[in-house]
Structures are given as structure tokens and as C-alpha cells.
């Protein structure tokens, strides 16, 4: 499910009809970012990326690229760990 959440965030970042201000607001909202980081915390998965803190566009692109770069790793980890029902439900709710 973490992989699907990452794919959804990447999809939002890649959608040309949405401005970067709106992409930032959606991706870094409680709906997506909070669930993403709660999932990582539950699974004890480390995730770091360079946050440029300069513009919404650069922030969205940096986060999107970091997700894409780590997607295969996340998928591999998920083969060996289980998410709690609470986290599964949180992810399902936003997908």
C-alpha cells in the first residue's frame, strides 16, 4: 500500500493541470504527507531527501524525485512487513 501511496503522490506531482502551489498544498497536507510519514515510522523505514526550501515547484519536484528513487526499495521492504489496519485504512481512505 505504501507503494500505491507513493505512486499517487508522484501522479499528483506530474499532473500538468495543477499549479505547483496547489500540488504543494495537496502533497504536503495531512492527507498525503502525514499518512506517508506515519507509515514510514510504523515500518521503521528511513527516508531522506534534499528539501531545497526555495519554491513550491522545487519542493514538489525534490519530494517527487525522492519518492520515485525509493519506490523499488519501499516495495522490497513491504514484502517482509505488514502494516497495521489503522495505517492500511488511512492509506485506503486517500487512494
pTM higher than the cut 0.85:
yes
Q: DSSP alpha helices (H): ranges in the chain?
A: 2-14, 20-27, 35-43, 56-78, 85-94
**What are 41-74's pLDDT values in tens digits?**
998 999 998 888 889 999 999 999 999 999 999 9
- The answer to whether residues 33 and 94 touch, using CB atoms and an 8 Å cutoff, is no
State the pLDDT confidence band at 39, using cuts at 50, 70 and 90.
Answer: very high
d(CA 65, CA 30): 20
d(CA 23, CA 60): 7
State the pLDDT confidence band at 82, using cuts at 50, 70 and 90.
Answer: confident
pLDDT of the residue at 86: 87
User: What are the residues whose beta carbons fall under 8 Å from the beta carbon of 2, sequence distance 6 or more?
Assistant: 36, 39, 40, 43, 74, 78, 83, 91
Mean per-residue pLDDT, 15-37 = 94
Amino acid at each position: 500500500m505504501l507503494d500505491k501511496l507513493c505512486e499517487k503522490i508522484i501522479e499528483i506531482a506530474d499532473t500538468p493541470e495543477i499549479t505547483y502551489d496547489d500540488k504543494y498544498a495537496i502533497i504536503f497536507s495531512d492527507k498525503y504527507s502525514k499518512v506517508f510519514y506515519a507509515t514510514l515510522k510504523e515500518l521503521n523505514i528511513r527516508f531522506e531527501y534534499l528539501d531545497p526550501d526555495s519554491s513550491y515547484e522545487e519542493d514538489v519536484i525534490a519530494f517527487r524525485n525522492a519518492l520515485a528513487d525509493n519506490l523499488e526499495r519501499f516495495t522490497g521492504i513491504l514484502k517482509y512487513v505488514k502494516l497495521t489496519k489503522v495505517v492500511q485504512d488511512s492509506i485506503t481512505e486517500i487512494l
